[in-house]
Amino acid sequence: MKLPNIKILDEKDKLLKTTSKEVNFPLSKEIKQDIKDMITYLKMSQIDEEREKYNLRAGMGLAYVQIGKPQRLFVIVEELEDGSFKDYIVINPKIISQSAELCYVGEGEGCLSINREVEGIVPRHARITVEAYDIDGQKYTIRVREDIAIAFQHEIDHLNGILFPDRIDKKDPYKNIDLMREI
């Protein structure tokens, strides 16, 4: 695999605090190539040899705005138990339902745009249903749970100009931890 030429914006970049615009179909060749590059980058970041070779931080999701293009699109690459990957291409997503149950990432959420330790937990819904479009402009509905639901919510936040530290209570970073399930 060849490392794509992707520059991920740092949290100090004001573009990350803006609301991304809807994506129009059909997708341009540039957007389709960017989607491929984002998926390749995320896969490489999850493969130990590639991550070490290119000094990458492991990541499973990337919003289009994180590479400087504020449009409502993100990709998630999930490594499966057999070592293969499942790719999610999510365009113009809308959360249409969510569980009452809340959960959080035990070791803390991370983000490829945030290059520092962040103390605290981010309350997320344990299950969500999302309506979105695929790369061909076909509408679909997907129900995701646990770590993938957290990743979807994290990336949708990016599309709305929200970074995960914004969701941590500044005065009490572990607020209501006893009311949520650790993932």
44-53 mean pLDDT: 96
Residue 119: CB partners within 8 Å, gap ≥ 6? 108, 168, 173
- The domain in which residue 52 lies consists of 14-182
Per the residue annotation, which of 49, 117, 119, 155 is the catalytic one?
A: 155
User: Is 144's pLDDT higher than 90?
Assistant: yes
State pLDDT tens for residues 69-128. Answer: 999 999 999 999 999 999 999 999 999 999 999 999 999 999 999 999 999 999 999 999
Tell me what pLDDT residue 116 has: 95
Residue-by-residue DSSP string for 44-96: HHHSHHHHHHHTPPP-SEEEGGGGT--BSEEEEEEEPTTS-EEEEEEEEEEEE
Is residue 133 one of the residues assigned to a domain?
A: yes
How many beta carbons lie within 10 A of that of residue 164, not counting itself?
23
Work out the mean pLDDT of the chain and round it to a whole number: 97
CATH of the domain at 137: 3.90.45.10
**Which residue, among 39, 3, 10, 19, has the nearest Cα to 112 in the 3D structure?**
10
* Residue 8 maps to a domain: no
> pLDDT band at residue 1, thresholds of 50, 70 and 90?
confident
Q: What is the number of structural domains in the chain? A: 1
Integer Cα distance of 102 and 61 in angstroms: 20
Q: Is residue 41 part of a domain?
A: yes
Whether 101 is catalytic = no
The pLDDT score that the predictor gives to residue 63 is: 98
**Radius of gyration (C-alpha) of the chain in whole angstroms:** 16
Question: pLDDT category, 136, cuts 50, 70, 90?
Answer: very high
pLDDT at 81: 93
